[in-house]
Amino acid sequence: MPWKRIKLPIKPGRFLVQGDEAVADGAFCAGMRFYAGYPITPASEVITRVQERFEESGEGVYFQGEDEIASIAACIGASWTGVKAMTATSGPGFDLMVENLGYAIFTETPLVIVDVQRAGPSTGQAARPSQGDYHQVRYATHGDYEIIVLTPWSCQELFEFGIRAFNLAERYRVPVIILTDEAVGHLREPVVYPEEIDVFDREHDPDAPPFSFDERDAGPMPLIGDGKALLITGSTHTEAGKRVTQDPEIHRKIVKHLIGKIQHNVSDIFESHEEFIEDAEIVIASYGISARSGFEAVKRLREKGLKVGFFRFKVIWPLWEKYVRERLSGIKKIFVPEMNAGHLSRELERLVNGEVISISELGTNIITPETIVKEVEARL
Amino acid sequence: MKNYMDWIRTDYFPTAFCAGCGHGIILKAIAKALTELEFKREEVVFVSGIGCSGWIPSPYIKADSIHTTHGRALAFATGVKLARPDLTVIVVGGDGDIASIGGNHLIHAARRNIDITCIMADNNNYGMTGGQYSPTTPQGAKTTTSRKGHVEPPFDVAYMVKAAGASYVARYTVAHFPQLVNAIKKAITTPGFSFVQAISSCPTHFGRRNISQDPYEYLDYLKKNSVNIKNVKETDEIRNKITIGEF
Ligand SMILES: Cc1ncc(C[n+]2csc(CCOP(=O)(O)OP(=O)(O)O)c2C)c(N)n1
Ligand code: SF4
């Protein structure tokens, strides 16, 4: 089994850790031994921590690329040699990575990208949080595909998702994005590092073809250096990697595989955090930093005797539509606080039968519990 | 492997190159260099970008190959080399691929002097997309995007790479086959960043508009219009010539 339980390679215990550092630590514990990135606020602290971990352990290679395009490209190249690779960036850098993100998706390359969101478009406000990249991370590159995006709400979760992101990337041979924001990335909180963790290492099979058309799962992965004259290409290919750029049937098979290997396993990938849903008449649904205020608002509204439930997306993509529809069916009103023009609320509108009410923050302020409580009371 | 054909994936023949394309000569030169250096298949990995030139190693060289995005081969190759320093990493790309869209990666690979060999198959235009001008298109040359003659001066890529810090830099044309093979061998065996600018022919686009659509006449032109940098001093004398040799 490619799953294994390992002793934490860093000191276990309870520490005060910054979000950006926590995600670097989680990734390191999961086995990340290649890092490439380009400096950008508010993600720059990630490479600093990675460098520290590599230096103290004597393992791993990090590289500051000439830009974000080079950084993600180097990660993909490294990943095909069998090493777990990561990069971290923010909006403008993510924009530059998009073409090669598509390459990683199409070539089924395990890879982790941390996107510490800042306010955009363009340079925007570098050191202020936002959740404006909700749909960008899903639909950034051209063509049809599925991708995995995790949305932590705390430093603890940044550590844990650093591990889970690699487990999912290796398991499904797909780039996994950890979508956080300046507020959580720059937050300092106590984080518990456990004694042991479970990690998944990709199934390496030197004799396997590099690609698969299986509509239900990812295939094993041969590596550069196996001596099998691998053909890896971002052009439409056969399972053996032969370029076939005029055959509609082959292209259809690949896209079905890219979507199928994720969608078929959506119940394994999707994760939510739910409280008081059973008797809820209204629900506050959110993710990331906004969900922290949302949860506080739920508690305050419950104290006032209102039947309010809490639904937090720990994974925003793939969206397990069937599950969300079922869990939120019969809920009369769903309030969705988020620091954007209403991205999650737009997704929920097409899934649920109740009224979806967006609580949107377009400046760069974190939505407060007071704002949410007021909004809910006004709209009851 | 004893024969250079052992390095060529003949089951993918016929190649996708136009008849008479110089890229086939570069393919053979690489295969010969690998054979003469007695490489084993698992010791070498090729990385290429997008363009007719990207097809030289992928799929025609029988070794690991990563066919990447347009211009980014050197960046992917950097990741491969850092993760597996024991592998010999060879990048093959076009003049558009390596010197235009990928120009920044080229400068920084040379500056880092990372132990990668880069072979630029330079046909003075964008072959794959239909013959547009590239950074190495000579001033006055006709391309589909410079129908009345190109106004911009070309880029001397070999000089630039040398200035940026590469260990080994050479330029030969596909009409100088033994020298080209030798340069590729030296590039692979020299530690640090090595760059071989292989002036190629594109009879279909550049040749038809500027030299000749006939492959033989094209090669003859390359041969007659090349001067070895050892034999020239004055820049004026070489302005309209292809300077070849080791830089
Ligand atoms: C980002 C991006 N832009 C544009 C293209 C289209 N494109 C494909 S090949 C090519 C240029 C090829 O010219 P060159 O690199 O000189 O190689 P040649 O075909 O001449 O060998 C271009 C612009 C692309 N594939 N990707
Ligand atoms: S278009 Fe030019 S470079 Fe491309 S295969 Fe044809 S002759 Fe060669």
Residue carrying structure tokens 């993510």: A94
Cα of A5 from ligand 1 centre, angstroms: 46
The alpha-carbon gap from A48 to the nearest alpha carbon of chain B, in Å, equals 19
Q: A11-20, A333-342, B234-243: lowest mean pLDDT where?
A: B234-243
pLDDT above 60: residue A378: yes
Nearest partner of A149 among A158, A133, A162, A137, judged by Cα:
A137
Q: Is residue B215 helix, strand or coil?
A: helix
- Calculate what percentage of chain A has a pLDDT beyond 70: 100
Question: How do residues A59-82 score in pLDDT, each as one tens digit?
Answer: 999 999 999 999 999 999 999 999
Query: Does the pLDDT of residue B236 top 70, yes or no?
Result: no
Report, as an integer, the average pLDDT of A134-147: 98
Confidence (pLDDT) at A1: 60
Whole-number pLDDT of residue B1: 82
Spacing of C-alpha A182 from chain mean position: 15
pLDDT of residue B235: 61
How do strand B64-67 and strand A231-233 relate by DSSP bridges?
parallel
pLDDT of residue B196: 98
Separation CA B73–CA B93 (nearest Å)? 8
Looking at residue B148, its pLDDT comes to: 97
Output the pLDDT for position B230.
86
Q: Whose CA is nearest to atom 2 of ligand 2?
A: B202
* Residue (of B50, B47, B35, B121) closest to B84 by Cα position: B47
Any ligand 1 atom below 6 A from CB of B206: no
Confidence of residue A323 (pLDDT cuts 50, 70, 90): very high
State the smallest CA–CA distance between residue A100 and chain B in angstroms.
7
pLDDT at residue B186 tops 90: yes
Strand partners, A309: A283
Average pLDDT rounded to a whole number, residues B17-45:
98
Q: Is the pLDDT of residue A356 over 70?
A: yes
pLDDT for B234 equals 63
Q: Pick from A75, A232, A235: which is nearest to B79 by CB?
A: A75
Q: Is the CB of B18 under 6 A from ligand 2?
A: yes
Q: Ligand 2 centre and the CA of B33: distance in Å?
A: 23
Report percent pLDDT > 70 for chain B.
97
Flag whether pLDDT at B159 surpasses 80.
yes
The predicted-structure confidence for A143-170, as pLDDT tens digits, reads as follows 999 999 999 999 999 999 999 999 999 9
Per-residue confidence (pLDDT) for residue B239, from 0 to 100? 64
- Mean pLDDT of the B60-81 span: 98
* pLDDT for residue A199: 98
pLDDT in tens, A169-226: 999 999 999 999 999 999 999 999 999 999 999 999 999 999 999 999 999 999 999 9
Rounded Cα distance, A153 and A295, in Å:
11
Q: How confident is the model at residue A137 (pLDDT cuts 50, 70, 90)?
A: very high
Q: What is the mean pLDDT of residues B183-189?
A: 98
Closest C-alpha residue for ligand 2 atom 6? B18
Output the pLDDT for position A292: 98
Interface check B241 vs A, CB under 8 A: no
- The CB of B54 under 6 Å from ligand 1? The reply is no
CA-to-CA dists, residue A237 to A233, A252, A368, B199, angstroms: 7, 11, 50, 30
B81 lines ligand 1 (CB under 6 A): no
A63 with B79: Cβ contact below 8 A: yes
What ranges in chain A are assigned the alpha helix state H? 19-30, 44-57, 68-79, 91-106, 136-139, 155-172, 182-185, 248-263, 266-269, 288-303, 321-327, 343-349, 369-378
Q: How far apart are CA B27 and CA A138, in angstroms?
A: 40
Q: How confident is the model at residue B238 (pLDDT cuts 50, 70, 90)?
A: low
| Whether the predicted pLDDT of A122 surpasses 80 | yes
Q: Residue B237 pLDDT > 90, yes or no? A: no
pLDDT for A155 equals 98
pLDDT over 70 (residue B152): yes
Q: Please, which pLDDT band fits residue B154 given cuts at 50, 70 and 90?
A: very high
**Residue B231's pLDDT band (boundaries 50, 70, 90)?**
confident
Query: Which residues make beta-bridge pairs with B127?
Result: none
- Residue B20 confidence (pLDDT) above 80: yes
Mean pLDDT of chain A: 97
**How far is A309 from A299, CA to CA, in rounded Å?**
9
